[in-house]
Structure 1
Amino acid sequence: MLRKSAPTPEECAQIWSATAASWKDSLTLPEYLAEAQYLATVPLARDGGMTRWIFVNKKLPPGQRQAFCSCEAFQKRALFSDERGNVEECIVYGVASVFCPPEYRGRGYGTRFMKELAKVLKRGWQPELSRKIIGSILYSDIGKKYYARLGWLPNPRNGHFVCPPVEVKKSELSVQLIPESGLKKLCHRDEIMVRRAMATPSTIQKRVVILPELDHMLWHIRKEDFATKHIFGKKAEAKGVIAGNPGKQVWAYWVRRYYKHPDHPFDEDGGNVLYILRLVIEGDFTANKPSEGHLSLAAIEAYTEQAAALQAVLQAAQTEAARWRLDHVHLWEPSPLVHSLLEQSSFNTAWV
């Protein structure tokens, strides 16, 4: 059964040791164990923001039981909106680090675990929460079928742009670097725009958006800091860049991910990645509004200034990737406007 009590420190170490082969990236096992403990103390995870779940034999006491499966669930602040634009704050749970040790696979443990978890996520387990729980999400690297059978339906429009690392001279980049101290203000501006978009009436009956708040950014950034300190002995100062004039600005936050040490060769399809965590275009009328297809040329021409700023931001991301010995830049699920601007440009990108 799913245990409401938290796994013991020894059980956590057991779980992390089992997941290390898949998820420790460039770290050694001791460093990976230290990272897991550390990430539980940073924003988004601490103070009940993250809950660990394990699937065990309920007849055995802690210290004698084996974790057949495990995962984490994060609270994520979200907004719900109806077709009239009535907005309500809510909670979406983010399911992460779902794992079943190889020796227990093929026995139905994973399916049973996720079915039990779905029930718990639906009814909630934190009575202190004042906001309504409206659902859960998870990210899968094992394809779309397994979790769809258990109720987590795949996003039909899931895709991302990939850019190569290319270093551009600093004097040629018309951008300003965003230090960590600058993130809070930009996240606040972003949230205001998200709320405004969600308050706009729509033909879509139900809309949900997870707020791109500072705590989300900091969780990823702290993970990056841990890795870059291990590899390079320092952390990166630039957490993103901003370009353009007020009212038509474009900015992005990013994070560096080292799946292997940069000195180690990768397979042809692998590599270390600079992930763009969030890309914002002021005035993007397609942001947070699901839309099929691409924009017309007339609609794109209205964003000439933002198009130039977008190119500057992506060039800065490519430069950062080159300087930090990363192999790719990834931009996940851009808005219809961003997708159309990049397709109409000569920028070197591939859609995956």
Structure 2
Amino acid sequence: MTTPTTTRQPMTGEQSAWFAQTFSALVDNVGQAVLGKTHVVRLAFTAMLAEGHILLEDAPGTGKTMLARALAATIDGTHNRIQFTPDLLPSDVTGVTIYDQKSGVFEFHKGPIFSSVVLADEINRASPKTQSALLEVMEESRVTVDGVTHSAGRPFMVIATQNPIEQAGTYRLPEAQLDRFLIKTSLGYPDHASTLQILAGAAERDRTTGLKHLVSSAAIVQMAVLASTVYVDTSINDYVSRLAEATRNDAETRLGVSVRGCLALVRCAKVWAAAQGRPYVIPDDIKDLAVSVLAHRLMLDVEAEFSGVTSEEVVERILSTITPPSERVG
């Protein structure tokens, strides 16, 4: 696909049309391997183009590895899977410096984190020290070993997974670290029609092998830059701010959405708008993404949590009570 020239000027109608067409093609391509999960695939590409990371909380066997492979194959990028275990060391993730006796110099051997798409499987099974090493790379997009900094490159996205069952021997991610994930969602089990389609192709163990490389990694970086130029009106920023304030003042929360969460929602909304062919964000973009971007950033009150209230329910209730803007401010 031909990539239009990317500038820091506001996105034009022609650019937004190209963006929407390319985004749709990317989603459809991944959808050939990850069946019946169009919304989650759209969220994954939104996280990638907003240059963030995604957390999947899912039971085993729902297609998390397939999603990571399909994303990497579609953008002609590299893919690595890290199985997190209690004995995994930070250097097993980031890499290590080894002395080469022949050359007489120290050489850095890159860890599996140096890939376009990294699947961090069952992140809650690793020690907090190893979790922190991963989250540091996610935040800074670089690794520093023995005083030397190594860039993780672009595009770079981590798909981390948590298993909601078998919690024995796991290390729950602290809320402050959960806040570093741009989006949290769940693949879930496929519907009946998709399950039948998967079973019909049971002989094909890896459905990503036949996927086409639609765009280059460099084009994905250009799309990310282009998405950042989408216009956000002051009224939209005010709406996001009021939503965040409502989460902080809600009786069922101990900790509401931070400014980082507000920025994350706006960044995602820009991509979401461009993916629909618009060079500007509307309130519906915020509504579509609020639960996926904000819910995991909340800390519920103990009584609310004990009563079975979920963060998703709190965000949905706040969305229903905060009036969205009806006109532009400037």
The TM tier, using the shorter chain, reads under 0.3
Larger RCO: 1 or 2 (CA < 8 Å, sep 6+) = 2
TM-score (normalised: structure 1)? 0.27
Q: Which has the higher strand share?
A: 1
Structure number having the greater helix percentage = 2
- Length-normalised TM-score, structure 2: 0.28
